[in-house]
């Protein structure tokens, strides 16, 4: 996408733009533009996410400040910024960074629309949802039920105006979300890349089937490649379980402030009839409930999915803390004066439960939380100065420490898995699995690495450079350098050297592109010659995929090139090069 305008436009896997990614590629556009501007490096790839993270922190502050005041805004921003998962999400190339920012911006614009009764901010809100859809498709719609219901609760508007504005929001969001998909689908297949994630070259099957509802109901949307179905209930954080969000693998990432968020929900419920901001309160509760329900009911292949909970959790936690502080300071009689110490005690207890459940939390952290929490409770009951400072410190200390551990690169997660901090393997509140519970990267092995201010240009390994040189010297002029059996085999040549390499089956590995007919015609025309395949190609299944048919045809019809023809002292492990030129010996 940084090398080719066509690849950037369609979001393709390969520089020659023959097949798209198996998802919408909007989340990668900022990265591609950054690489075009600054070159291909670690910091150029990370820069857009860092900007998106800073913007999201500022937007969360703005929402909470308008909602309940500047102190609530500061706490919401601090809660969001000290969420361990987010430090990793906003430091790596992944869809969740952009969609999180977009939905926070959508809520801010929606909040302005509710306060001013104007249509334009509502259009802006729907546009942000649409941009978020380009980043992570249906996940951007998690917020839609909440915003629609919230609009129907705005007291300053009549019934017709409420429904009309809800219609505007839905129309802008949905039309904006599917606009590019519709344009892409209307283009003739010969004028665009093949749509990965589908068996029918259909972007709607990819988005709504392969990446959408087919993960819950198999084959509901036809034309999608292999369904990922969440039918197994498991105690693991990646499975489908109603208790998933209580597992320490999840709570250490996004769930430190559950009690505070619960207090925020309670505060909204107690004041819903008399507060003018009840629309926003109900919307945030519904947003969190929608995201929690969908995530609990589905398999979660990557920890980054839990970022969908982060914005409403932070906002509700800030409201809960704010309500307790106001009750303590108001001089209200009875139980109201105990709201803050009770909340601090509950939050400290929950934090200690999480730390204990991990089995690897440092002792000093648990002691510090207990001491600060106990001191905050005592000072709050006595209504002494400093109660709020102690309370906030006890609430945010553990998540801040877990987040700070990501200064160690081994604890910082990756673009494939944004799990931040010491990794928990098989631990739970009520069970202990046999074998190793955690990996070796814990607080006991903490080491801060210096920042990467400059990274050298990427380069192929010696073995891959030798293969590429051989193919360059013998391939037809122009066109594809060679066809690899999978995206894993093709990716190093694309990422490290920008070579025009094609992969069978695309990123999903199951898309029928290229077809056997196209491969054979390309070989016959002299446009395709070389294929990089596994050394041991398994026989095709009874009902072979297009990829398997191509592998079978190449191994039966083309010539294996001896390793010493293009390799030196070292060799490519478990990979072999095949020559399909008509003149090659059989």
- Among 373, 402, 431, the domain-final residue is 402
pLDDT in tens, 120-168: 999 999 999 999 999 999 999 999 999 999 999 888 888 899 999 999 9
What is the number of structural domains in the chain? 2
367 with 476, same domain: the answer is no
Together in a domain, 382 and 498:
no
Selected residue with higher pLDDT from 443 and 4: 4
Q: Is residue 428 part of a domain?
A: no
Given 357, 381, 402, the domain boundary residue is 402
Q: Which residues pair with 47 in a beta bridge?
A: none
- Asked whether residue 419 is domain-assigned, the answer is no
Look at residue 584 and tell me if it is in a domain. no
Is residue 155 located within the same domain as residue 267? Answer: yes
Asked if residue 207 belongs to a domain, the reply is yes
pLDDT number for residue 75: 96
Measured between alpha carbons, how far is 131 from 106 in angstroms, rounded to an integer? 10
What is the model's pLDDT at position 401?
93
For residues 507 and 55, what is the distance between their CA atoms, to the nearest angstrom?
A: 31
Q: Are residues 165 and 71 in the same domain?
A: yes
In a domain, 434, yes or no: no
pTM of the model: 0.90
Q: Is residue 435 part of a domain?
A: no
Same domain, 472 and 371: no
Note down the domain range covering 180.
5-226+248-402
Answer whether residue 98 is part of any domain.
yes
Question: Which of 402, 419, 445 is the last residue in one of the domains?
Answer: 402
Residues 20, 139 share a domain: yes
Residue 235 confidence class, pLDDT cut points 50, 70, 90: very low
**CA-to-CA separations, 240 to 220, 425, 471, in angstroms, rounded:** 19, 17, 47
Give which of 27, 38, 3, 30 is closest to 455, Cα–Cα: 38
Q: Is 136 helix (H, G, I), strand (E, B) or coil?
A: helix
Q: Exposure pattern of 22-42 as b/e (b: 16+ CB <10 Å)?
A: bbbbbbbbbbbebbeeeebbe
Same domain, 141 and 11: yes
Most trustworthy range by pLDDT among 260-269, 384-393, 506-515, 537-546: 260-269
For residues 391 and 492, membership in a common domain is answered with no
- Is 119 inside any structural domain? yes
Do 536 and 395 lie in one domain? The reply is no
Position 430 scores a pLDDT of 31
Angstrom distance (rounded) from CA 68 to CA 71: 8
Dist. CA 153–CA 350, nearest whole Å:
34
* Same domain as 504, residue 397: no
Q: Residue for token digits 């709020």?
A: 388
Name the pLDDT band for 303 (thresholds 50, 70, 90): confident
Q: Give per-residue pLDDT as tens, 62-89.
A: 999 999 999 999 999 999 999 999 999 9
Q: Are residues 162 and 286 in the same domain?
A: yes
- For the stretch 207-227, pLDDT in tens is 999 988 887 777 888 888 875
């Amino acid at each position: 996408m940084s090398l080719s305008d066509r690849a950037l436009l369609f979001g393709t896997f390969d520089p020659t733009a023959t097949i798209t990614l198996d998802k919408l590629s909007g989340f990668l556009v900022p990265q591609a533009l950054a690489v075009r501007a600054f070159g291909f490096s670690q910091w150029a790839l990370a820069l857009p996410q860092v900007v998106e993270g800073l913007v999201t922190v500022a937007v969360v502050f703005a929402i909470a400040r308008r909602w309940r005041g500047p102190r609530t805004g500061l706490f919401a921003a601090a809660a969001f910024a000290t969420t361990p998962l987010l430090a990793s999400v906003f430091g790596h190339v992944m869809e969740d960074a952009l969609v999180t920012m977009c939905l926070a911006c959508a809520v801010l614009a929606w909040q302005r629309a509710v306060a001013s009764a104007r249509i334009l901010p509502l259009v802006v809100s729907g546009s942000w949802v649409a941009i978020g859809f380009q980043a992570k498709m249906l996940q951007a719609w998690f917020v839609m039920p909440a915003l629609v219901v919230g609009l129907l609760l705005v007291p300053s508007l009549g019934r017709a105006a409420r429904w009309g504005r809800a219609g505007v929001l839905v129309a802008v969001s949905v039309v904006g979300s599917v606009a590019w998909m519709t344009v892409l689908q209307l283009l003739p297949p010969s004028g665009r890349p093949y749509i990965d994630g589908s068996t029918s070259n259909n972007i709607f099957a990819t988005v709504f089937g392969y990446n959408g509802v087919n993960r819950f109901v198999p084959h509901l949307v036809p034309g999608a490649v292999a369904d990922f179905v969440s039918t197994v209930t498991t105690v693991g954080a990646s499975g489908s379980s109603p208790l998933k969000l209580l597992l320490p693998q999840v709570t250490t990432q996004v769930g430190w402030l559950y009690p505070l968020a619960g207090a925020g929900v309670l505060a909204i419920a107690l004041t819903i009839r008399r507060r003018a901001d009840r629309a926003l309160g109900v919307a945030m509760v519904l947003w969190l409930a929608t995201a929690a329900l969908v995530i609990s009911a589905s398999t979660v292949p990557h920890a980054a999915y839990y970022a969908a909970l982060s914005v409403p959790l932070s906002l509700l936690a800030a409201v809960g803390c704010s309500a307790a502080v106001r009750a303590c300071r108001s001089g209200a009689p009875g139980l109201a004066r105990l709201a803050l110490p009770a909340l601090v005690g509950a939050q400290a207890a929950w934090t200690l439960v999480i730390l204990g459940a991990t089995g690897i939390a440092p002792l000093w952290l648990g002691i510090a939380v207990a001491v600060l929490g106990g001191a905050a409770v005592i000072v709050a009951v006595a209504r002494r100065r400093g109660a709020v400072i102690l309370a906030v410190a006890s609430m945010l200390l553990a998540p801040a420490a877990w987040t700070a551990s990501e200064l160690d690169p081994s604890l910082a997660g990756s673009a494939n898995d944004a799990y931040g901090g010491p990794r928990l393997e098989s631990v739970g509140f009520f069970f202990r699995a046999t074998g190793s519970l955690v990996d070796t990267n814990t607080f006991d092995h903490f080491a801060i690495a210096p920042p990467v201010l400059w990274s050298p240009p990427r380069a192929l390994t010696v073995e891959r450079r030798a293969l590429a040189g051989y193919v360059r010297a013998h391939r037809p002029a122009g066109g594809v350098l060679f066809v690899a059996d999978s995206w894993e085999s093709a990716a190093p040549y694309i990422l490290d050297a920008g070579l025009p390499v094609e992969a069978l089956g695309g990123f999903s590995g199951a898309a029928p592109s290229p077809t056997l007919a196209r491969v054979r015609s390309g070989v016959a025309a002299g446009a395709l010659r070389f294929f990089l395949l596994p050394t041991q190609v398994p026989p095709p299944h009874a009902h072979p995929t297009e990829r398997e048919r191509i592998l079978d045809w190449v191994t039966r019809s083309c010539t294996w090139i001896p390793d010493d023809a293009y390799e030196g002292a070292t060799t490519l492990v478990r990979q072999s090069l095949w020559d399909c030129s008509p003149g090659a010996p059989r």
